[in-house]
Amino acid sequence: MSSQTMNCFLVEKSESNDVRTRLTAVAIPDLNDGDVLIKVKYSSLNYKDAMAATGHPGIVRNFPHVPGVDAVGVVLESRDSRFSVGDEVLATGHELGVERWGGWSSHLVAPADWLVPLPGELTLEESMTIGTAGFTAAQCVQALLKHGCKAEDGPVIVSGATGGVGSLSVMLLANLGFDVLAVTGKPDRHDWLKQFGASEVVGRDALAGNEKRPLLKGEFAAGIDTVGGQVLATMLKKIQHRGCVACCGVVGGGEISTTVYPFILRGIALYGIDSAWCPDDARAEIWTKLATDWKLDDLLETKVDLSLTTVNEAVEQILAGKFSGRGVIQIDE
């Protein structure tokens, strides 16, 4: 296969450390035992992809690089007995688009262990509208449910609500009957969030952390935090007794300054969510839920259509916190 080429979004670094990107054709990598070659139909834009597309050293260590932590497509060649030519498969996380070349390409070579058969209830496009963001949102929601949270316990607060993880968290929670308070920095997106199920929408001031007290009024049964930093620290102070928070994000900072009081006086639990290396059985369970019981009727309304030609502008927007919903990249023939 290496004599064939693939069209991809290539990130390169010059000797003077300038990062530049271009669409180009490169040789399709050789397959090892256990690998599968996929004709990619769709990928998506996650915050991590934007970091990869700009050569962030915390994400990309080897150049040239192809971003894309998500991909869905059709098997062209398989060196693993679990997959056959013509199968529709999706891949999210693991080392895709980070240590290994990812889905912003016409072709992808990935270990079979990283692939999930596309659930029959989802179209290729729907699966990438979910992508890593939706998969992470679903893991956050599942953490709350496993903790024992019920709709009647009170409202759930979601930060970074217009983002990929945030918006799908709002939708999944609302679909399960929860009252959702969405926190956003985008005043023009309040109606958009209400359309997707938020009962109330407030500005980021709600979690700005100007209050220095170790505990604030316990207004929420639970929270999903996609931002980190002060936002997470403040959210913890506002959770009621025996509630919980699921955290996954870092757009607002990687450090949290908190006290032990939410934990020892209110028994709050903090669940960390990792999507990249989610174990296979848990991964399959989440995808099945997303395709069946938790399937979102209005999922595609969150979609922003992108291509490898237009994605650079969206990369700038997402890094500036100005992107809403899910960027889905259609890969041209």
Binding site for ligand NAP (CB under 6 A): 46-48, 132-133, 136, 160-166, 184-186, 204, 226-227, 231, 248-252, 273-276, 318, 321, 323
Residue 311 to residues 23, 229, 279, 308, 316, Cα–Cα distance (Å)? 11, 28, 30, 5, 9
- For the bound state, the minimum distance from the C-beta of residue 275 to ligand NAP, rounded and expressed in Å, comes to 3
Nearest to 48 by CA among 92, 105, 15, 109: 92
Complex with ligand NAP: residue 46 or 106, whichever CB lies closer: 46
Minimum Å gap between C-beta 290 and ligand NAP is 14
Q: Closest CB to ligand NAP belongs to which residue?
A: 163
Q: Which is nearer to ligand NAP, 69 or 268 (CB)?
A: 69
Least Cβ distance, residue 48 to ligand NAP (angstroms): 5
Residue closer to ligand NAP (CB basis): 58 or 148: 58
Cβ closest to ligand NAP, residue 102 vs residue 164: 164
- In angstroms and rounded to an integer, the radius of gyration of the C-alpha atoms of the chain is 20
Pairing of strands 35-45, 326-330: antiparallel
Minimum CB–partner distance for residue 29 and ligand NAP (Å)? 25
In terms of CB distance, is 78 or 230 closer to ligand NAP? Answer: 230
Q: Among residues 27 and 208, whose Cβ is nearest to ligand NAP?
A: 208
User: Which 8-state DSSP code applies to residue 253?
Assistant: B
Cβ 320 to ligand NAP, closest distance in Å?
Answer: 8
Helix axes 124-147 and 164-175, enclosed angle (nearest 10): 70
- Write the single-letter amino acid at 64: P
> Is 250 buried (19+), middle (13-18) or exposed (0-12) by CB count in 10 A?
middle
H-helix segments, 226-295: 229-237, 261-264, 280-291
In the complex, minimum distance from the CB of residue 67 to ligand NAP, in angstroms, rounded to a whole number? 13
**How far apart, in whole angstroms, are the C-alpha atoms of residue 161 and residue 169?**
8
Nearer Cβ to ligand NAP (43/275): 275
Least Å distance between CB 115 and ligand NAP?
A: 18
What letter would DSSP give residue 192?
A: H
Is 228 in contact with 250 (CB distance < 8 Å)? yes
